[in-house]
Chains A and B, each alone.
Chain A
Amino acid sequence: MRIALSVLAAAVTAALIIILNTTMLLPAPLGKLLSPQHGVWQNAEKANEDFTADLKFPQLNGKVNVYLDERLVPHIFAEQENDAYFVQGYLHAKFRLWQMELQTFAAGGRVSEILGEKGLNHDREFRRLGMVYAAEIAAKEMERDPVLKAECDAYTAGVNTYIEALTESTLPVEYKLIGYKPERWSNLKTALFLKYMCYDLSAREDDFEMTNAKSYFSSDDFTKLYPAIQDSLDPIIPKGTTFPTQKIFPKAPANADSVYLNTKETVAVENEKPDRGNGSNNWAVSAAKTKNAAPILCNDPHLGLNLPSLWYEVQISTPAFNAYGVSFPGAPGVVIGFNDSCAFGVTNGGRDVRDYYEIQFKDDSRQEYLFNGVYHSTSFRIDTIKIKGKPDYIDSVAYVQLGNDWCPVMFDKAYNGGRTGNTKNYAVRWTAHDPSTDLKYFNLINRASNYTDYLAAAVYFKSPGQNCAFACKNGDIAMRTQGNWPAKWKGQGDFIMPGTDTSYLWQGMIPQDEVPFQYNPERGFISSANQKPVDETYPYYIGRNYPMYRGFQINRRLSAMSNITPQDMMALQTDNYNALAEMIMPLFLKGIKENELNNDEKKYLDLLKGWNLRNDVGSKAATIFETFWENFQDTVFNDEFAKAPKVIMHPFESSLLEGLLKDSAYKFLDNINTSQTENLADEVTAAFKKTALELKKAELAGKLDWEKYKATHVDHLAKLAPFSKTNLPIGGGVHNINATKQTHGPSWRMVISLTKETEAYGVYPGGQSGNPGSKYYDNFVDQWATGKYYTLWMMTKGEEKDKRVKAMMSFSKS
């Protein structure tokens, strides 16, 4: 009897363990998760954690000392350069492993392994875009360069050394919560991460949307809604600059008008897009314009704001170079920063480097495709996508050779991006598929000591193309709109192109010596803010859709400034002045029919009239303007777009603004659904009345102040709310230099004054540790939100005893 009871009690114990160790009955394996010696408690880092360590690894060749300062920024001092990359990999893994791996899973189309079936669409799309194909080409190219190979091998070894020593209890908390384990790192994963940045920064085209817009609108309307050039554009390279003699002459096919530019075909696919706001500001002012007679370089890349942050601050000091700045957890080197001689930063080039071609397969088997009048054999890539809790999904992607390039047929009958009814096949030609060694840019710019070094480094930046800013202690400043840019004829790649012969293919890349650049310009500064880099006199066609109001404002301010201090530059980076509002407000105020407004509406109008045009914290008028501008665009265009295909390009914001400035009887003001003809006054008043209703709601909820209305938040990468920071008190907006939107904005702000003793400032909305259980997880966020900076400490030998050093990690050969 007792034995039977004993067995019963044992069975209850076993059942309890199974329930608490799995997710069969519970939402989480609570026993495993809450065990104080294994689970999440182990991730609760001591508030006074001492990071001091003495580590020995066989892969090292010399001694490396890492000094962690009070903000947990590592200052890596290595006797051998590659040892520094080993340690950088080790530290990235120690502080950011989960994010590093997640980003490569996202890049390689493996999200379903973690998230289950809801990740499948993303995974198929990314594999069909050829992300893994691109990373394989890049990894191969990287490993062909012995210097880069050694650098990446050391970095990978550093990451893996950390991963191998992990135990159940030391796993990052997200692995425990989601329930999986990290894989080994590889150079391919580094390449995958870099391809993710290519996606983020160079996959923002609108070919499908524009194709449908072209088919829906008359050619006249199309030109009004999507003009090739904007009047108020202030390009990166000032208007009137003479460009070098053209060497490549892209020629439009003879039948371009009839079978391409004027066709009315529609498309029924939709693709995943990076945020349109992915952009940045950078500028450098010459010594003549600064108080200390030394150049100042500034950079703030605008990207999705997440925790853990995309960036990790680091100083790397080796016998060959000494660089400080932000690095990507996932890749070796410093990306944006400074060294003992110069400072460097980038903004996104934003050109259209991803085009689609319609492919004619012989039949549904996709075995053969028509090209130049002959059927050729397709090559297939079979993708096995693992799905958590489900059988694998097998996708076969056809690759066709267009000219010299093998391109994936991303969309076909089997995949349309979530739309139905697609029967066509679209292959994608993307510069990210071409071999390049972009890491070499970081490798060389980290050790650059003058303009010549900068030039030698910049040519390696091919994808994603960037506006590379540079400033040097000797007084040089420079900007190159660097990248692998297809030399296009006018209109090439704006829409889906025929893919059945050579005539529509890219005819070459713009030669390096024709890449627009500026070196010590007379105006005393260089700047870029993702606006169109050149005016119409540039010989190549580079697309039509670029943001321009930030660039306009930056150039206007820099032109007017003199005797500049680093503090002035910080104020400029965090400036909330709304240049778009400045241009449109007079028209609004002139147009609005005040006699038709009720009391609430009048109250809001009065606030708007008194606005200082700044999207500042506490500004109610900024909320009124931004809501009004949205509603105004809808009021003007919703009637024209009511019957448009779902996938369609919305007019550029500047189209409406410039259309009205040119002609206040702008054609689209008329509501085509009414018998009378509406004018500016009618539309402004109608939009304002609609706006007032929304504002009233916001006011009742206590959210009329701009920062409350906008409610900027920095989300955890897996969207776990308790690991996120919400409702940050920060102003700014899309058309402000401080381009802080709801979940997107300046992901790193940096100001470097190249005086004899470099004066450096920076801040990012995150923290050095990726562990939500660490006080270093999000400790920079409030500083960032309030527009304050940290002084960046370029530590030198002899400062080891400085009070800013909180711990020393010593790495040596075992």
Chain B
Amino acid sequence: MKFITSLILTALLSFAACLFLPWWSIAIAAFIVAVLIPQHVGKAFLTGFLALFILWGGLSFWISNSNEHLLAHKVSMLILKMDNPYVLMLATALIGALVAGFAALSGSLLKKNK
């Protein structure tokens, strides 16, 4: 239950933060949630990781899909040197996931585990 709550909260808080703050505010969001809802460190990392993997992966897919992947084709060629929108979405998801995962890890280590 804690896991699901943390995951949803991290995703929601990240989304809200990014409306006003730079992209790396996802780290702050994941950190705060990990401090407020203590979990085992491994679980905490997974929470942050998955929350942003789903959020950023989902958002990029949703945006790209309504764009008929027009830009993703071009940008994947430009950045990844391969024409594959889905790899670009995966890269997006992984970047968010890693940053949030480590931030959550840091947050959970601050709190004593029950």
Chain A interface residues (CB < 8 Å from chain B): 2-3, 5-10, 12-13, 16-17, 20-21, 27-28, 30-48, 168, 173, 177, 720-723, 772-775
Listed residue (B95, B96, B98) with the most chain A CB atoms within 10 angstroms of its CB: B95
Given A31-B23, A33-B79, A44 contacting B72 (CB threshold 8 A): yes
User: Is the pair B78, A13 in contact by a Cβ cutoff of 8 Å?
Assistant: no
Contact status of A721 and B98, CB under 8 A, knowing A44-B64, A44-B72: no
Q: Is the CB of A40 within 8 A of B99?
A: no
Closest to A28 in B: B79
User: What's the least CB distance linking A334 to chain B, in Å?
Assistant: 30
B88 to A34, Cβ gap below 8 A?
A: yes
The minimal Cβ–Cβ distance linking B112 to chain A, given in whole angstroms, is 7
Chain A residues in 8 Å Cβ range of B106: 6-10, 12-13
Instruction: Tell me the minimal C-beta distance from A51 to chain B in angstroms.
Output: 15
Are A37 and B88 within 8 A (Cβ)? no
Chain B nearest CB: distance from A1 CB in Å? 9
Q: A3 with B109: in contact, given A35-B23, A41-B92 (CB under 8 Å)?
A: yes
B59 contacts A by Cβ under 8 Å? yes
Per CB-CB distance, the 8 closest pairs between chain A and chain B, nearest first, are A773-B71, A35-B23, A6-B109, A9-B106, A44-B67, A36-B59, A722-B77, A722-B74
- Determine if B67 and A46 form an interchain contact, defined as CB atoms under 8 angstroms apart: yes
Cβ distance B97 to chain A, nearest Cβ, rounded Å: 11
With both beta carbons as reference points, the residue of chain A lying nearest to B79 in the complex is identified as A28
Tell whether B75 is near chain A: CB-to-CB under 8 Å: yes
Q: Are A32 and B63 in contact (CB under 8 A)?
A: no
Residue B103 interfacial (CB < 8 Å): yes
Instruction: Report B58 CB to chain A, min CB distance, Å.
Output: 9
Indicate whether A30 sits within 8 Å of B79 (C-beta atoms), given known contacts A13-B103, A21-B24, A772-B74: yes
A242 to B41, CA, bound (A): 95
15 sample A-B contacts, Cβ–Cβ < 8 Å, listed by A number: A6-B109, A6-B110, A8-B106, A9-B106, A13-B103, A17-B24, A30-B91, A35-B56, A36-B56, A37-B59, A43-B71, A44-B66, A44-B72, A720-B78, A721-B77
Whole-angstrom CA separation of A39 from B75 in the bound complex: 11
Residues of chain A within 8 A of B105, CB atoms compared:
9
| Minimal Cβ-Cβ distance residue in B for A168 | B22
The answer to whether residues A2 and B112 also contact, given A17-B99, A38-B18, A177-B78 and a CB cut-off of 8 A, is: yes
A15 nearest CB neighbor, chain B only: B102
B36 CB–A CB distance under 8 Å: no
B102:A13 contact, CB within 8 angstroms? yes
Q: Which residues of B contact A34 (CB under 8 A)?
A: 56, 60, 88, 91-92, 95
Contact with A along B75-113 (1 / 0, CB 8 A): 101110000000010011001101100110111011010
Looking at the complex, which one of B22, B75, B96, B110 makes contact with A40 (CB distance below 8 Å)? B75
CA distance A27 to B77 in the complex (A): 14
Which residue from B23, B66, B74 sits with its C-beta under 8 Å from A46? B66
B71 touches A44 (CB 8 A): yes
Closest Cβ of chain B: how far from A567's Cβ, in Å? 33
For chain B, the bracket of interface size reads 35 or more
Q: A31-B99, A44-B72 are in contact. List 12 more A-B contacts (CB 8 A).
A: A3-B109, A10-B106, A13-B103, A31-B23, A35-B18, A36-B56, A41-B59, A44-B71, A47-B70, A177-B78, A722-B74, A722-B78
Cα–Cα distance between A612 and B95 once the two chains are bound (Å): 59
How far apart sit A42 and B63, CA to CA, in the bound complex (Å)? 8
Report whether A39 and B23 are in contact in the complex, using a CB–CB cutoff of 8 Å.
Answer: yes
Q: Is B27 an interface residue (CB 8 A)?
A: yes
- Among B15, B79, B103, B109, which residue has its beta carbon within 8 angstroms of that of A37? B15
Tell whether, in the assembled complex, residue A41 and residue B77 are in contact, meaning their CB atoms are under 8 Å apart: no
B60–A41 touching, CB < 8 Å: yes
Interface centre among B19, B66, B67 (most CB of A within 10 A): B67
Tell me whether B102 and A16 are in contact (CB under 8 A). yes
Please name all residues of chain B whose beta carbon is closer than 8 Å to the beta carbon of A721 when the two chains form the complex: 77-78
Chain B residues whose CB sits within 8 angstroms of the CB of A41 once the complex forms? 59-60, 63-64, 71, 92
Cβ of A37 and Cβ of B19 under 8 Å apart? yes
B110: min CB distance to chain A, Å: 5
A36-B56, A36-B92, A41-B63 known; A13+B70 contact, CB < 8 A: no
Nearest chain B CB to A683's CB is how many angstroms away?
46
- The reply to whether A37 and B77 contact each other, CB–CB distance below 8 Å, is no
Known: A13-B103, A13-B106, A36-B60. A45 touches B91 (CB 8 A): no
In the bound assembly, the distance between CA atoms of A33 and B22 in angstroms comes to 11
Question: Which B residues are in CB contact (< 8 Å) with A37?
Answer: 15, 18-19, 23, 59
Q: Provided the pairs A31-B24, A722-B74 are in contact, do residues A12 and B60 lie with their beta carbons within 8 angstroms?
A: no
B71 CB contacts on chain A under 8 angstroms? 40-41, 43-45, 173, 772-773
In the complex, which residues of chain A have a beta carbon less than 8 angstroms from the beta carbon of B56? 34-36
Contacts of B72 in A (CB 8 A): 44
Docked pose: A6 CA to B31 CA in angstroms:
11
Determine the chain B residues whose CB is within 8 A of the CB of A2 once the complex forms. 109-110, 112
Determine the chain A residues whose CB is within 8 A of the CB of B63 once the complex forms.
36, 41-42, 44
Q: How far is the CA of A2 from the CA of B98 in the complex (A)?
A: 20
Please give the distance in Å from B32's CB to the nearest CB on chain A: 13
> B95–A20 contact, CB under 8 A?
yes
Q: In the assembled complex, which residues on chain B have CB atoms less than 8 Å from the CB atom of A7?
A: 106
> Are B66 and A38 neighbours in the complex by a CB distance under 8 Å?
no
Tell me, in angstroms, the Cα distance from A8 to B106 when the chains sit together: 8
Which chain A residue has the least Cβ–Cβ distance from B107? A6
Given A36-B59, A38-B22, A44-B63, the answer on whether A31 and B109 have CB atoms closer than 8 Å is no
- The CA-CA distance from A779 to B78 in the complex, in Å, is 21
A9: contacting residue among B15, B66, B102, B112, CB under 8 A: B102
- Chain B nearest CB from A648 CB (Å) reads 40
Name the distance in Å between A166's Cβ and chain B's nearest Cβ. 15
Partner of B23, one of A10, A12, A32, A43: A32
Q: In the assembled complex, which residues on chain A have CB atoms less than 8 Å from the CB atom of B74?
A: 722-723, 772-773
Chain A residues within 8 Å of B31, by CB: 10, 13
Complexed CA–CA distance, A74 and B91 (Å): 38
Partner of B95, one of A31, A720, A773: A31
Residues of A within 8 Å of B77, CB to CB, are 721-722
Closest to A12 in B: B102
Kindly list chain A residues whose C-beta atoms are within 8 Å of the C-beta of B22.
32, 38, 168
- Bound-state CA distance A44–B74 (Å) is 11
Residues of B contacting A21 with CB < 8 Å? 23-24
CB-CB under 8 A from A27, the residues of chain B are 79
B68 x A47 contact (CB < 8 A) = yes
A477 to B58, CA, bound (A): 61
Q: In the complex, which residues of chain B have a beta carbon less than 8 angstroms from the beta carbon of A13?
A: 27, 31, 99, 102-103, 106
Query: What is the chain A residue whose CB lies nearest that of B112?
Result: A2
Q: How close is B101's CB to chain A, nearest CB, in angstroms?
A: 9
Shortest distance between the CB of B78 and any CB in chain A (Å): 5
Query: Which residues of chain A come closer than 8 Å to B66, judged between CB atoms?
Result: 44, 46-48
Q: How far is the CB of B56 from chain A (nearest CB, A)?
A: 6
CA distance A596 to B77 in the complex (A): 50
CB distance from A452 to the nearest CB of B (A): 49
B78:A30 contact, CB within 8 angstroms? no
The residue in chain A whose Cβ has the minimal distance to the Cβ of B24 is: A17
Q: How far is the CA of A42 from the CA of B72 in the complex (A)?
A: 11
- Bound together, the chains give a CA A37 to CA B66 distance in angstroms of 15
CB neighbours of A773 from chain B (8 A):
67, 70-71, 74
**CB-CB nearest in chain B for A18:** B24
Q: In the complex, what residue of chain B is closest to A774 when comparing beta carbons?
A: B70
Q: How far is the CA of A37 from the CA of B22 in the complex (A)?
A: 9
CA distance A168 to B22 in the complex (A): 9
Report how far A3 CA is from B107 CA in the complex, Å: 10
Residue among A12, A37, A723 facing the most chain B CB atoms (10 A cut-off): A37
Q: In the complex, how many angstroms separate the beta carbon of B87 from the nearest chain A beta carbon?
A: 12
- A335–B19 alpha-carbon span in the complex (Å): 41
State in angstroms the CA–CA spacing of A30 and B75 once bound together. Answer: 12
The CA-CA distance from A774 to B68 in the complex, in Å, is 10
**Which residues of chain B from 36 to 74 have a CB within 8 Å of any chain A CB?**
56, 59-60, 63-64, 66-68, 70-74
A39 to B18, CA, bound (A): 11
Chain A residues within 8 Å of B18, by CB: 35, 37-38
